[in-house]
Structure 1
Amino acid sequence: SYAPPQPPASAGSRSTAPPRKDWHLVKQMAQEHPAIIPCFGLHPWWVPERSPDWMDSLRQFFSETPEAAVGETGLDKGSHGKTIDFGEQVEVFERQLELAKELEKPVSVHCVRAFGDLLEILKRTGPFPAGVLLHSYLGSAEMVPGLANLGCYFSLSGFLTGLKSTKAKKMLKAIPLDRILLETDAPDAVPRLDNVSLVTVPVDTSDADIEMFQGDSTSQAATPSKESLNHPANIHIVLKYVASLLEMPEAELAEASYRNATKLFSYPGSKVHPKAETA
């Protein structure tokens, strides 16, 4: 689920719990918190766990929750995804893409080491006027034009800090400004940068036990452990890093990301409504 418009785009939360349990929790969170935009979908990691009537159940959730978007769905050939039959991943993904088109809703897509397959599938099933959110995008610069032509938005998270800066910069420069989104992917994707104020949540502690790290390459104690969880407050770090690579003012990037997120999530029935334009 996503929660714009915190400074800028799809800063929110998502869960990798089994599908039906996850959908119920997302629905409950969205009912309790007006800022949360719910998303319902079958993540590729959970394809083997799906029930025979999973699509009927998914449709029921959209019927009961018209403000919801589709996702997270997608393709995964990474260390975890490669253990899951790829043909089944494709089948489940395509059915959710068709559902998103039918319902005229944006769809949030997870893609790991399968961007060639993703592009071919989107070409075959697209275009997508309501938009496709490529969550935590780490594809190549060369893939951007084709994906953008099909209605894709490119959401950037702390995972970007793991790429070589030259590769990241080339990819970012290829993304049209009206298609850039920013996210934290919390609790995943802890940014790995020196000299930044980083908010993390230690694993196996209470929700109130939140720590602040002042990044410093000379101080091991100031570096969050691999067990630390990311926090939505770190969206400002993603903003600062992306703006530095694009060589543009942070305020300009924040405004563009906010504007793009508002447009993407302003589908019929959504909680988000674009600002009225003034003359």
Structure 2
Amino acid sequence: MFVDSHCHLDRLDLTPYDGSLAAAIAAAKDAGVHKLLCIGIDMQNAAAVIDIARQFEGISASVGVHPMDVGDQLADMNELRTLASAPEVVAIGETGLDYFYTKDSAALQKESFRQHLQLSKSLRKPVVVHTREARADTIEIIKQYGDPAVAGVLHCFTESWEMASQALDLNYYISFSGIVTFKNAAELKEVAKKVPLDRLLIETDSPYLAPVPFRGKKNEPKYVVEVAKCIADLRGLALEEIAEITLNNYNNLFFNKD
């Protein structure tokens, strides 16, 4: 059984499935992908991801405000707390810092990230962290405001081994997307070889970043198997072993926080 630990089911291109999300999810399950985490990115789509999680077996949700969606005003954290308290919600985020696209809003991003980490600690639900070109600030804020007992995951990881190591020391997991399958991802492949197996996750981040051999196409959860294949090859393990390891890690991170 495979897990897609980060996907945006409300944003999938459903054209191949005649507009049916149920059919896209069925295709994933036919490929062996039976657990999915549907990620919230702002206050507007929170209800949608929770509703998807309620409709389909094996799907859970996260709610939060992506750093590129912070804008010029912070979210109402009382409203976010209410949404995050739903039983279908197993994580807070995605949150974090993005200085590649939106460095001009860095101050608000930092405050939003701090608030998400505090909510994570309060509700004992792990955080899903987006980080790009903000290595030092991301780690520093997690150190100051995160709870290692609850922890979280650096999703769609594309950073250095140094950053991965620092996050691992804070009890975080590292998740690899289709980017690890790209030919120009040599440094990232080396990181994927080093991450301890008990902290390793896989994801699609669909509909973005489709893995090889589907690069350039719209991504979808069933393609997480290609990420698993790449990691298995890099680690010299059987595909079934990576499937079992990442499923166990997913369950440990998101469902064993009581």
Q: Does the 8 A contact of 1:9 with 1:260 survive in 2?
A: no
Instruction: Report the TM-score when normalising by structure 2.
Output: 0.81
Q: Does the 8 A contact of 2:62 with 2:84 survive in 1?
A: no
**1:250 pairs with 2:233:** no
Q: Could you tell me which residue of structure 1 aligns to residue 200 of structure 2?
A: 180
Q: Could you tell me which residue of structure 2 aligns to residue 139 of structure 1?
A: 159
Q: Distance in 2 between matches of 1:90 and 1:115?
A: 12
Q: How does 1:45-194 map to 2 (within 5 A)?
A: 45-48=68-71, 50=73, 54-63=76-85, 65-68=86-89, 69-78=91-100, 80-82=101-103, 84-162=104-182, 164-191=184-211, 193=212
- After TM superposition, give the deviation of residue 182 of structure 1 in Å: 0.6
- After TM superposition, give the deviation of residue 166 of structure 1 in Å: 3.5
Counterpart AA for 1:7: F
Counterpart AA for 1:235: V
Bigger CA radius of gyration? 1
Counterpart AA for 1:179: R
Counterpart AA for 1:249: A
Q: Distance in 2 between matches of 1:143 and 1:150?
A: 11
- After TM superposition, give the deviation of residue 163 of structure 1 in Å: 6.3
Size of the alignment, in residue pairs? 229
The match for 1:232 among 221, 233, 243 is 221
Q: Does the 8 A contact of 1:130 with 1:267 survive in 2?
A: no
Q: How does 1:194-233 map to 2 (within 5 A)?
A: 196=213, 198=214, 226=216, 228-233=217-222
- After TM superposition, give the deviation of residue 66 of structure 1 in Å: 3.1
**1:12 pairs with 2:7:** yes
Q: Which runs of 4+ in 1 moved over 6 A?
A: none
**1:31 pairs with 2:31:** no
Which one has a larger percent helix, Structure 1 or Structure 2?
A: 2
Query: Which one is further off, 67-76 or 155-164?
Result: 155-164
Counterpart AA for 2:126: P
Counterpart AA for 2:88: E
Counterpart AA for 2:161: A
Q: Does the 8 A contact of 1:188 with 1:230 survive in 2?
A: yes
SS at match of 1:108: strand
